[in-house]
Amino acid sequence: MQDTSNAMIEISAVSKTYETSQRGRHLALDDVNLTIAEGQFVSILGPSGCGKSTLLYMVGGFVQVSGGSITVKGKPVSGPGPDRGPVFQEFALFPWKTVLENVMYGPLEQGLPKAEATEKARKLLALVHLAKYEKFYPKELSGGMKQRVALARTLAYDPSILLMDEPFGALDAYTRTRLQNELLDIWERDRKTVMFITHSVEEAVFLSDRVYVMSPSPGHIRKVFDIDLPRPRIRSELLLDRRYQDYVVSIEKLMDEQDKELV
Ligand SMILES: Nc1ncnc2c1ncn2[C@@H]1O[C@H](COP(=O)(O)OP(=O)(O)O)[C@@H](O)[C@H]1O
Ligand SMILES: [Mg+2]
C-alpha cells in the first residue's frame, strides 16, 4: 500500500457510469485507486477514451463519482473550489478581456483591490514570459501564448492543486517543450500539487514524480511508475540518461501490450 499520511488527493475505489442515449449505461471508470502527496507532480497516462478527463473533472468537483470516494486534504469533494485550479486544453480565456484583465479576474473576484490585483497579474505574466503582451487580446496570441495566459490566470487564484488536462496537447512540439520547461520552473518554485493528464509517455516521464498508467475503457490503474530522476530536470541531459530511457521504454511496452490485448 502507498503511504497516504500526507495525501493531498486520495481517490479510492472510484467508478463512473454515464447514462448515454446511444450506448445506455456506459462504465467509464472502474475501481480507480490513486494517491497524490502534497507537492507531488503526478501524471495520468492512458489511451483516448479511458476516462482520464472524467477522473480529473471528478477531482475538480465538476463531475460526480458513481461509486467510491475522492478526498482533497481529507475532505470529500462536493464541488469545485479555489484550492483546485483547472488548466485545460481549450484555453477558456475571456475573448473580450485583455491578457492582463484575464489574469486579474480571479484576484478581483476574490476581493483583492484593483492595484494589488494588477500587481499580482503582472508578476504572473512575467513568470510565464508574457510581460510585454498584457494589453493584447487572446485572439492576437499564438496557441502557446494563450496557454501561458491560461496558466497565469489559474495561478492567480493561488490554488494549492493544479489540475491539468492535456494542457499542451494542441501545441506544436517546440512550444510544447518550452512550456513543459516553464511549468517545471514554476513548480520548482512553489511545489504545488499537480495532477497532469497526458497521452504522451515522454511528457509524463519528463515532468513527473510518479506516473499512473491507465488501461483502456473502462479505465482503471494498470501500473504505477515512480520516476526516480534528479531535479531540476534538464531535457538535454535526461535524453541521454539511461534511467529516463528505461522508464520511457517500459511504459511504451506496457501501452503496446494493452493495444494488442484490444485486438
Ligand atoms: N458527459 C458524458 N456523457 C456520456 N459519456 C461520456 C461523457 N463524458 C465522457 N464520456 C465517455 O466516457 C469515456 C471516457 O471519456 P473521457 O474521460 O473523456 O476519456 P479520456 O479523457 O481518457 O479520453 C468515453 O467513452 C466517453 O465517451
Ligand atoms: Mg480527455
**Where do the domains of the chain lie?**
1-83+193-263
State the Cα angle at 62 between 58 and 64, rounded to 5°: 55
Q: Which ligand is nearest to the CA of 45?
A: 1
Per-residue pLDDT tens over the stretch 213-237:
999 989 999 999 999 999 999 999 9
Q: Which ligand is nearest to the CA of 217?
A: 1
Instruction: Give the integer Cα–Cα distance in Å for 30 and 43.
Output: 18
| Atom number, ligand 1, closest to the C-alpha of residue 57 | 17
Top-level class of domain 1-83+193-263: alpha beta
Cis peptide before 113 (omega within 30 of 0): no
Does residue 1 carry a pLDDT above 60? no
> Can you give the pTM of this predicted structure?
0.94
Is the CB–ligand 1 distance for residue 73 below 6 Å? no
Cα-flanking dihedrals φ and ψ of residue 165, to 5°?
-105, 100
Instruction: Characterise 25 by phi-psi region: left (phi > 0), alpha (psi -120 to 50), beta (else).
Output: beta
C-beta separation of 87 from 167 below 8 A? yes
Q: Mean pLDDT: which of 134-138, 143-147, 152-156 is highest?
A: 134-138
What is the residue with the minimal CA distance to atom 25 of ligand 1? 49
